[in-house]
Structure 1
Amino acid sequence: MKVIGINGSARKNGNTAILIRTIFEELNKKGVETELIQLADVDIEPCRACFACRGKDNCVFRKDGFAEVFSKMVEADGIILGSSVYSADVSSRMKALLDRGGVVAATNPGILKHKVGVAVAAVRRAGGMTSVDTMNHFFLNKEMIVIGSTYWNMVYGREIGDVLNDDEGIANMRNLGQNMASIMSKLNS
């Protein structure tokens, strides 16, 4: 089993990456292979709604990194989407991925069906629920299985590493990893 984590933050290895890696620790304990993709390293053009992807598993725009990221989403058994919160929603890089991936998946029904999804947000003040909701809607509209935890899937912090001071939030991330591993194991058996 394999899970990819997609860090939508502009800050590579910042708070959002810390959250994803915390979930990875729990998945790795259960033998799940993990891979982190940092969108700070990937250019993704916005969707142009041309629908040329209909009947294909990819977008016509090949000069950016979308095709590589989306193919890893299709191959994975589970997907973690993580975003820092900007202007009370997901980052622009995450939004571009969700828009492009959403159209490709909508025009190719079932391409992400029954994969396991987890959405997490690194938050300074507000917008965490909106961000998690945006990412969860992507999962739900693609017939994926959304994993929850004991509380909302967000952790508070501003400067890199501050999220580690939110004990309840980090405990929630660990629980998400355990829940994700459990559901994936049950689906795989």
Structure 2
Amino acid sequence: MKVFGICASPRKNTTEYVLKIALDKLEENGFETEMFICQAKDIKPCMHCDYCLENKKCVIDDDMGSVYEGLQNSDGIILATPVQSGGVSSNLSAIMDRTRALEAVDYNILRGKIGMSIAVGGDRTGGQDFAHLKNITYFMIHGIIPVSGGPFGSNLGASFWSNDSLDDIKEDEYGIKSLNRTLREFENFLNKYI
């Protein structure tokens, strides 16, 4: 089974570090993984021009093609975002909007895949839950089954407090526990339903 992880940070930092931990653990358990890193990539916003509805492809030619391929070829999807303005990054928002073109090709193309959310905030309560809810909403709209870590500490997904420092996120034991709980459920769903 293959898991596609999107690091939606505009810079190399804590979000990429956490997503790599998740993907490495999945690989240790026999999953094939791929990571798309938004940093230094060209992902333009959706123009909502409806070109994709008639032509079965997006009119914009940029790095989104790699995301389309990764989403299509995966069984599981991990959205990892830094918290920006109390929600997901602008990179992830653009990716979410641009998925419309993928489903113009096949409405059911993402249905039945398993989805997991990772949110990294500069503050302990910097908007991680709002970022998770946006990711979960995206999953539901596209027929992706959202998975959390359950009702004891990772209700919506894996939540980290970076304090804007790679050193600090490495010491975020609570965040690592939330990641481990969420990964356990993510793997269970992949093994049971895919």
What TM-score do you get using the length of structure 1 for normalisation?
0.90
Runs of 4+ in 1 over 6 A off after TM superposition: none
What is the Cα-based RMSD across aligned positions, in Å? Answer: 1.6
- SS of alignment partner, residue 182 of structure 2: helix
Amino acid across the alignment from 1:86: Q
Deviation at 1:161, TM superposition (A): 3.6
- SS of alignment partner, residue 41 of structure 1: coil
Residue 134 of structure 1: aligned partner? 134
**Equivalent residue runs for 1:115-134 within 5 Å:** 115-125=113-123, 126-134=126-134
- CA separation in 1, counterparts of 2:73 and 2:131? 25
Residue 79 of structure 1: aligned partner? 77
- SS of alignment partner, residue 36 of structure 1: strand
* Unpaired stretches in structure 2, ≥5 consecutive residues: none
- Bigger relative contact order, structure 1 or 2, given CA contacts below 8 A and separation 6+? 1
- CA separation in 1, counterparts of 2:103 and 2:167? 37
Amino acid across the alignment from 2:36: I
The answer to whether the aligner puts 1:61 opposite 2:60 as a matched pair is yes
- CA separation in 2, counterparts of 1:83 and 1:170? 16
Match of 2:191 among 182, 185, 189: 185
Contact 1:23/1:177 (8 A) holds in 2: yes
Deviation at 1:10, TM superposition (A): 1.4
Amino acid across the alignment from 1:24: L
Residue 154 of structure 1: aligned partner? 159
- SS of alignment partner, residue 84 of structure 2: coil
Deviation at 1:105, TM superposition (A): 4.7
- SS of alignment partner, residue 81 of structure 1: strand
Residue 112 of structure 2: aligned partner? 114
Contact 1:79/1:116 (8 A) holds in 2: yes
Deviation at 1:57, TM superposition (A): 5.5
- SS of alignment partner, residue 53 of structure 1: helix
* Unpaired stretches in structure 1, ≥5 consecutive residues: none
Residue 46 of structure 1: aligned partner? 45
Give aligned pairs, total.
185
- CA separation in 2, counterparts of 1:57 and 1:75? 18
Query: Can you list the C-alpha shifts for 1:67-114, whole angstroms capped at 9, x where unaligned?
Result: 22112111111110011011111111111111111x225534111000
Residue 179 of structure 2: aligned partner? 173
Residue 144 of structure 1: aligned partner? 144
Contact 1:78/1:115 (8 A) holds in 2: yes
What TM-score do you get using the length of structure 2 for normalisation?
0.88
Residue 31 of structure 1: aligned partner? 30
Contact 1:24/1:177 (8 A) holds in 2: no
- SS of alignment partner, residue 107 of structure 2: coil
- CA separation in 2, counterparts of 1:89 and 1:36? 21
Deviation at 1:36, TM superposition (A): 1.2
- CA separation in 2, counterparts of 1:178 and 1:11? 28
